[in-house]
Structure 1
Amino acid sequence: MSRALLVSPTPAARAAEERLRGSYEFVPEGEAEMIVALGGDGFMLQVLHQMLEARSIKPVFGMNLGTVGFLMNEWRLERLEQRIAAAKEFKVNPLRMTVMTVDGEDISLPAINEVSLLRETRQTARVEVSVNGRVALPELVCDGVLVATPAGSTAYNLSAHGPILPLGSGLIALTPISPFRPRRWRGAILPESTRVSFKILEAEKRPVSAVADQREVRDVSSVEVAIDRATPLTLLFDPEHTLDDRIAAEQFIA
C-alpha cells in the first residue's frame, strides 16, 4: 500500500522524518493510499481536518512525537511496514457544527473530539439547550457547554468532569463547563443520532464563541451539533495498544 509521510514542524518530528525517509519509500500525499503522521494529538487532529476539508479520506497511522499521543502509536523506526499491515482499524465519525453568528453569518465546521461553547467575557453565558428539537434546558447559566464524541471524551470533556464513552458505544456526551444554574445538572449521555441545539440568550450582551476542536467562531447566536455519518475517518493502531483499550484504561487512572 503506497503511503505519504506528514510531519509536525517540531524538531523531534523532523529528526524522525529524516530517519524514516532514509529507511522507507513514501509518495506525495495526492498519490498515497494511506498516511503516516508524525507528531502529537494536535497534529493528528490537523491532519484529519485537512482530509475532511479536501474530501480525501485515507487511513492514518500516527506515531507519537508529541506530549500525550492519545491518538497515536508508539514511535519506532523498525518494522513500519509490518506494523501497518497488522494494524487494527478504528472508524471515527466526526461531529458537524453548524453556527449562526450574531451578524447572520452561517458557518459549518467538523470536529473529531468535541464542539465547545465558551463565554467570551467575564459574564456567564446563558444558553437554551434543545435535544432533537425539544427544549431540554430553558436556561443553562455557565462558563460553557460541550458535545464530545467517544474519541474525544477523554480530552476536554473529561477535564470538565464529563463521562468517558467507550469507542463504538454509539453515544455522545453533553457536558456543562462550570455550571451555575441548574446547580445540580452535570450533563447527559445521548445516542449518537441525537441533534443538540444551543440558542445563546442575550447573545450581544453575553457573547459566546463556538469551537470545533481547535477552530473558533466568535459571537454566535445559535449552534447545532450532530454526528456526520457521511465522512467516517479511519485510524490505524498497533494491535497491542488500540484506541478502545486506551479509552477503557482512562477510567482507572486516579
Structure 2
Amino acid sequence: MQQIKIAIFGRVFNSSVMPYVDQILNFLFKKNIAIVVHQEFYDFLNQSGSCHPAITTFSSYADLPKDISFMLSLGGDGTMLAAVSLIRDSGIPIAGINFGRLGFLANISKRDIEEALNKILNKEYQLQKRTLLSVCSDQKELFDGENFALNDITVFRFDSSSMITVDAYINNELLNSYWADGLIIATPTGSTAYSLSCGGPIIMPGSGNFVITPISPHNLNVRPLVVSDEIKLHVKIESRTEKYILSCDSKSETLSTTVNLQIAKAPFTINLIRLPNEEYFSTLREKLLWGIDVRNY
C-alpha cells in the first residue's frame, strides 16, 4: 500500500501555537504519513526545535510533489491565501487549521485537530470548488506569474493625496468611471472579506458571480455591482501621481498608470476541504455574526 503524503504550509507565528504544531506532527508520524513542509516554514520549525529528520521540504509550486494527498495550511486566512499560490492548478485539496483570529477559510479549530485530521485521512469530507480571479496586462508581467486571487483583485490610489479614476469596461462596453480611493473585484469567497467591509454584498460560493465594489467613491449613487463570472473586465487608471497599487490577495505591486489591466475568471479552481459539520451559513452566523438578533436567543 502506497504511503499517504501530505504537504504543510505555514508562516512564522507566536510561540504559544507551537504545542499545536507539535501535536499535528506527532499525530501524522504515528499514522505513518509522509510529510513535506514548505522550506521557509521548515526553517522556522527547526529554529523552534519542532522539526524531525523524516520531514522533506519543497520551496515552490515547481517542486511541490504531485502525489500529495492534500495540503494543510497552519495559520489564519492570510496563510491560506498564500498557500493557494503554491497549489495553483495542481488540484491538490487544501484544509486550514486556524491559528489566527477570524478563521473563515481556515476554519478547523486548533481544539479539534486530531478529530479533523482523522476525518480527512478517512476521506470523510466534501470538496468545495472555489473560483479564482486572474489579472494580466499587455504592458508587463504581473506578480511573476502568480497573477490569480482566491479573494479579490484590488486597485488602490498610490498615496493619500487624492483619489483616482478607474475606467472600467465589461466586455469592451463602458461600465463606469469610478472616482474613488480604489476598486475591488471579488469572488464569492472574497465577498466576505475586504469587499464586505466596503459595503459589498455576501455572495454564496458556486453562484457564478463576481462583485465589483468601489472603495470610498466620490459619488453617492455608485454602489457595488454583482456581475457574471463569465465577463471580462478591462481597467484603466488615471491618477495625479501617475502610479497606483494593484493587489492580488496578499500580494501587491506599484504600477504606472500606463499599465492597463484585464481581469477575468481564472482557468482553474481550488479544492477546499470541508468537513461534514461545516456549513456555509452556520459559518456566516458564527464568524461574522450575520443576522444576529437578540430575539433569537
State the TM-score, normalizing by the size of structure 2. Answer: 0.76
1:90-109 paired onto structure 2 within 5 Å: 90-99=128-137, 104-107=139-142, 109=147
CA change 1:157–1:165 in 2 (3 A) is same
1:115 aligns with 2:150: no
Choose which of 1, 6, 9 in structure 1 pairs with 2:9: 6
In the alignment, structure 1 segments of 5+ residues that lack a partner are none
Q: CA deviation at 1:209?
A: 1.2
Higher strand share: 1
Equivalent residues of 1:125, 1:206 under 8 A apart: no
Q: CA deviation at 1:193?
A: 0.6
Alignment partners' CA distance in 1, 2:104 and 2:26:
27
CA change 1:66–1:119 in 2 (3 A) is same
Higher helix share: 2
Choose which of 53, 67, 70 in structure 1 pairs with 2:101: 67
Aligned to 1:34: 70
1:168 aligns with 2:171: no
1:194 aligns with 2:231: yes
1:20-59 paired onto structure 2 within 5 Å: 20-25=24-29, 26-29=33-36, 30=65, 31-52=67-88, 55-59=89-93
Alignment partners' CA distance in 2, 1:105 and 1:4:
32
Alignment partners' CA distance in 1, 2:272 and 2:188:
14
CA change 1:44–1:163 in 2 (3 A) is same
Q: CA deviation at 1:117?
A: 0.6
Q: CA deviation at 1:243?
A: 4.0
Equivalent residues of 1:34, 1:58 under 8 A apart: yes
Equivalent residues of 2:134, 2:264 under 8 A apart: yes
Describe the superposition over 1:33-62 as per-residue Cα deviations: whole angstroms up to 9, x where unpaired. Answer: 21122211111111111222xx53310121
State the TM-score, normalizing by the size of structure 1. Answer: 0.88
Alignment partners' CA distance in 2, 1:119 and 1:61:
34
Q: CA deviation at 1:222?
A: 1.4
Describe the superposition over 1:219-244 as per-residue Cα deviations: whole angstroms up to 9, x where unpaired. Answer: 2431211111x321101122212346
1:142-153 paired onto structure 2 within 5 Å: 142-153=180-191
CA change 1:69–1:124 in 2 (3 A) is same
CA change 1:204–1:105 in 2 (3 A) is farther
Equivalent residues of 1:174, 1:188 under 8 A apart: yes
Describe the superposition over 1:170-226 as per-residue Cα deviations: whole angstroms up to 9, x where unpaired. Answer: 110000000003x3111210011111111112x463522111011112124312111
Alignment partners' CA distance in 2, 1:61 and 1:233:
11
Alignment partners' CA distance in 1, 2:255 and 2:18:
38
Percent identity of equivalent pairs: 23
Higher RCO structure, 1 or 2 (CA under 8 Å, sep 6+): 1
CA change 1:159–1:83 in 2 (3 A) is same
1:72-87 paired onto structure 2 within 5 Å: 72=106, 73-75=108-110, 76-84=112-120, 85-87=123-125
- The alignment's C-alpha RMSD in Å is 2.1
Equivalent residues of 1:13, 1:38 under 8 A apart: no
Choose which of 214, 222, 226 in structure 2 pairs with 1:185: 222
In the alignment, structure 2 segments of 5+ residues that lack a partner are 37-64
Q: What amino acid sits opposite 1:242 in the alignment?
A: E
Aligned to 1:240: 277
Equivalent residues of 1:116, 1:210 under 8 A apart: yes
CA change 1:2–1:210 in 2 (3 A) is same
